[in-house]
Amino acid sequence: MPSTIFNIVSWFLSSLGIALILKKCGQRGWYAFIPGLRYYRLGIACGREPDALKCLVLEIVMQLLSVCSRFVGSDETQGRFLLLLQLFFGIILVVFEIRVLVGICQIFGLRRRWIFFWILLPSFAPLVLGCRKKYQPVHIASVPDDEYVGGLAPAELSAAVDADESDDGLVVHVRARTAKNFGKTRYLLKDINLTVPNGSLVLLLGGSGAGKTTLVNAVTGYEKADADVRLNGKDIYNNYDEMKYRIGFAPQQDLLRMNDTVTKTLNDAALLRLPAGVSAKERRAKIESVMDTLGLSGRQDGLVAKKSGGQKKRISIGMELISDPDLFILDEPDSGLDGVIARELFERLRAVADEGKIVIAITHTPDRVADLFDKVIVLARDSGKVGRLAFYGSPEEAKAFFSKDSMERIVMAINSRSEGGEGRADEFIEKYAQLTMEKEAVCHG
């Protein structure tokens, strides 16, 4: 009886700790109290869903074997066989649980010795991690809130065709981008077809959950979709080891060493990203060129920590530009910047595009710089909660298409009513599909 009480208390404490960890990671804590689901949800929170799904299946197998052992009775042969099966599957289960715990250590920035702490004290370690305020996730790779995990079935809408496809520039054909959530296939994107010419500055527009980041990840090959993506005639997926060096990506968060100077920061980036055969003289020339383009010349001395927000953002961009990418993608480069500084930053990006590059930017304040863009991609979630292409063209064409006088009003037109929008996503997705089909018919008429 005392051992039974001890086991119950131990299980409750570990479940409580895991529930608090899940809550810190933006997950629903009550999953921790359901047998089999705790490691599954932990795995989702740390980007280890395949391992977590195996944990879930193995826990179910272990439970079934435990039930079967109760009906064996006095048959020693069957009893030993079931015991060996339990031992076998139990070892495999521990292996995948450890892989999930490695992911937890990564998102909390912990050393891997925490795994041994967790294994030795399974009721105490998660409680410490969940209760102590000093332990906070630094990078959550989880699937977003249920509202934004994608739909189980896309709406029955026509697909926009690409009438301008060529071998130059960026050609995108995303048939579908799916993900597994609780064993169900969810659609994140469907039928994204477009061609972006070289020398274009492109605005990627859409409401929350429309699939902007998902599309960026699919285009860069970071998270492959069922798609064909070509950059200047080369398939990015099939030639990923080569093409990943032709693509630059600047995340929203500046990843800088604050105690370095601008010159050292860019020099380190050049050493990492430029071919090994590049001489020191060529490397210095490239660094000077990037600093001139971004307006950093004359400001290269002093610590990065002493630079303004706008200058830090330019340094982050420079770290990617140093490899002279053909495609450059930026996630909210103007985040936290005032209007004048943001405008100047986008003028610099306009200059980069004018050098023959393709620059794609996501921004939540597009109207203050809309005139600088050549093209705008508008993504919208259809009634099935799947990201679709609602428009692709110039900013002025977009305003005419949506009958709106600003980019922000365009977003409101396609946002759902629950988000304060007009809920007209399906209407515009279908309208744009019909428009592209008419253009295609004229081109081949």
Which of 54-63, 129-138, 180-189, 235-244 comes out lowest in average pLDDT?
180-189
Grouping H, G, I as helix, E, B as strand and the rest as coil, residue 369 is coil
Q: CA 432 to CA 205: how far, in whole Å?
A: 15
Identify the weakest region by mean pLDDT among 128-132, 196-200, 337-341, 381-385.
337-341
pLDDT in tens, 187-246: 999 999 999 999 999 999 998 888 899 999 999 998 889 999 999 999 999 998 888 889
Say how far residue 361 (Cα) sits from the centre of its chain: 15
Q: Which domains does the chain have, with CATH numbers?
A: 2-142 (no CATH), 156-443 (3.40.50.300)
pLDDT reading at 339 higher than 80: no
Average confidence (pLDDT) over 318-345: 84
Question: What pLDDT is stored for residue 73 in this prediction?
Answer: 61
- pLDDT for res 143: 40
The residues, any chain, with a CB within 8 Å of residue 435's CB and separated by 6 or more, are 160, 401
Where do runs of H (alpha helix) occur along 203-358?
212-220, 240-243, 262-273, 280-294, 309-321, 339-354
- Which residue from 53, 39, 26 is spatially nearest to 142, judged by alpha carbons? 26
In the chain, % helix, strand, coil (3-state, to 5) comes to 50, 15, 35
